[in-house]
Amino acid sequence: MQSPAIGERECNASPLMRSVDAMQRIGSRRLGPVLVHPAAGLAWWLVPLGADVGLAGLRAITVRTAPWELHCPPASEYMNGLGWLEKPDGSGTLTDPAVLGAEFGPSGPPRLRVPAFA
């Protein structure tokens, strides 16, 4: 299955582990599909068309727009090193770019102070 950056969505690549942390904070009710390639350490978030405007300046996110294509496996399969960490469910739900930007933006997610681990 191909999921090119056309129509109603775009694709944004980010580091896998930072994406997993962000997904936990965002919560499954607000997540759109997230494709991962564990060996490459990458995750791709599907976001609404036009999200590149608000996300392009974030260093942790690589914005991909048409004609770049992301070759995706079916939702229930893991193929060629790719699998869905958050599967597409047919609802058309995409991750809100404002929420994604808050997680990957300059201020980033909330962090514990180092002494909290002592």
Domain range annotation of the chain: 9-117
Query: What does DSSP say about strands 9-15 and 62-64: parallel, antiparallel, or unpaired?
Result: antiparallel
Q: How far is 83 from 92, CA to CA, in rounded Å?
A: 18
Q: How many Cα atoms within 13 Å fall on the side-chain side of residue 118?
A: 3
Q: State CA 43 to chain mean position distance.
A: 6
Q: What is the mean pLDDT of residues 88-101?
A: 88
Structure tokens at 91: 């609802």
Q: What is the mean pLDDT of residues 34-47?
A: 92
Helix (H, G, I), strand (E, B) or coil at 101: helix
Under the banding of pLDDT at 50, 70 and 90, the label for residue 8 is low
Query: Over the stretch 19-33, which tens digit does the pLDDT of each residue have?
Result: 999 999 999 889 999
